[in-house]
Amino acid sequence: MLTKDELEFLKSQSLTTSDVYDGRGQSSAAWKAGVRAAGQTVVIGTPCKEKGHRLRTRSGHCAQCDTAKLGYQKRHNTEGYIYIAGSRSAKLLKVGTCVDIEQRRKNLRHQAYGNITDWEMLFTVKVDAGGRIEADALSRLAKYKVVRMYEKDGRKQEAAEMLKTSFSVALAAVQETLKGVKASEIRKSLRWADYEFKKL
C-alpha cells in the first residue's frame, strides 16, 4: 500500500507502517477522529497540492513537505502534566504543561514569570497529550487572558499564558478538555478557595 518513498520517509522519522492510519476515502472529520482513536501518528489520504505526497499529520498538514509539523505534533502529544498555577499577590492564574511539577513551580518563582514570585500549583493531572489539552483549555479561557511583560535573562519577555479569573472557572475549562481523555495522578490543592479571585 505504501510506495518506496513513503516507506523511506517513515523510516527517516523513526516510524513504521504500524504508525500509519488508512484514511483513504474517508471524510476529513472521520479520519481525524479515526487516527486519534487508533493512536497512530500519520494518515494516508488525499495527496498534498504541492507535491502529491499522501502522508499527513493528525491535523491534516502534509507530513512530507514540512517535517517540522510532525515534530510539533510529537511535542503536542507528549506525556506530561497539565497544571493550573495561581498567584495570590497578582490575583492571576496560569495554565500550562510540564514534565516535572515541582521543578516547574520553582522555575516560575525563580524566573518571576509575569513579575510574580508567589506561584503555587493548584491543580495537576497527568495526561498523554499535554500540549493539545493545554491549547484546548486556553482557547476556552481566551476571554480571561492577560499579557504582561517581564524580564527573563536580562531581556523583556511576554508572559502570555496568564488568566484573570477564578480557580473554579479555570478548573472547569480544564476538566471539559479532559472529557474522554486518559488522565491520572489528579491533584488539587486544599487551598484552592484562596484563588477564587472573581465572584462567579
Residue 133 binding Zn ion, by CB under 5 A: no
Least Å distance between CB 47 and Zn ion?
8
Least Å distance between CB 51 and Zn ion?
4
Would you give the distance in Å from CA 106 to the centre of its chain?
A: 21
Binding residue (CB under 5 A) for Zn ion from 13, 32, 53, 162: 53
Q: Which amino acid is at 195?
A: Y
Place of cell 505504501: 2
Q: Which stretch binds Zn ion (CB under 5 A): 50-58, 71-79, 123-131, 171-179?
A: 50-58
Query: DSSP 3-state assignment of 43?
Result: strand
Query: DSSP 3-state assignment of 141?
Result: coil
Burial of 183 (0-12, 13-18, 19+ CB in 10 A): middle
Least Å distance between CB 1 and Zn ion?
18
Residue 56 binding Zn ion, by CB under 5 A: no
CA-CA distances (angstroms) from residue 39 to 2, 14, 49, 106, 195? 19, 16, 26, 34, 37
Least Å distance between CB 181 and Zn ion?
30
Q: Which stretch binds Zn ion (CB under 5 A): 18-26, 40-48, 105-113, 144-152?
A: 40-48
Binding residue (CB under 5 A) for Zn ion from 10, 44, 48, 174: 48
Residues 149-178 that bind Zn ion (CB under 5 A): none
CA-CA distances (angstroms) from residue 49 to 14, 60, 84, 110, 152? 25, 12, 41, 48, 42
Residue 51 binding Zn ion, by CB under 5 A: yes
CA-CA distances (angstroms) from residue 46 to 2, 56, 64, 164? 13, 9, 13, 43
Q: Which amino acid is at 65?
A: C
* Pick 63 or 171: Cβ nearer Zn ion: 63
Q: Which stretch binds Zn ion (CB under 5 A): 3-11, 43-51, 100-108, 128-136?
A: 43-51
Place of cell 489528579: 186
Residues 58-117 that bind Zn ion (CB under 5 A): 62, 64-65
* Pick 64 or 166: Cβ nearer Zn ion: 64
Binding site for Zn ion (CB under 5 A): 48, 50-51, 53, 62, 64-65
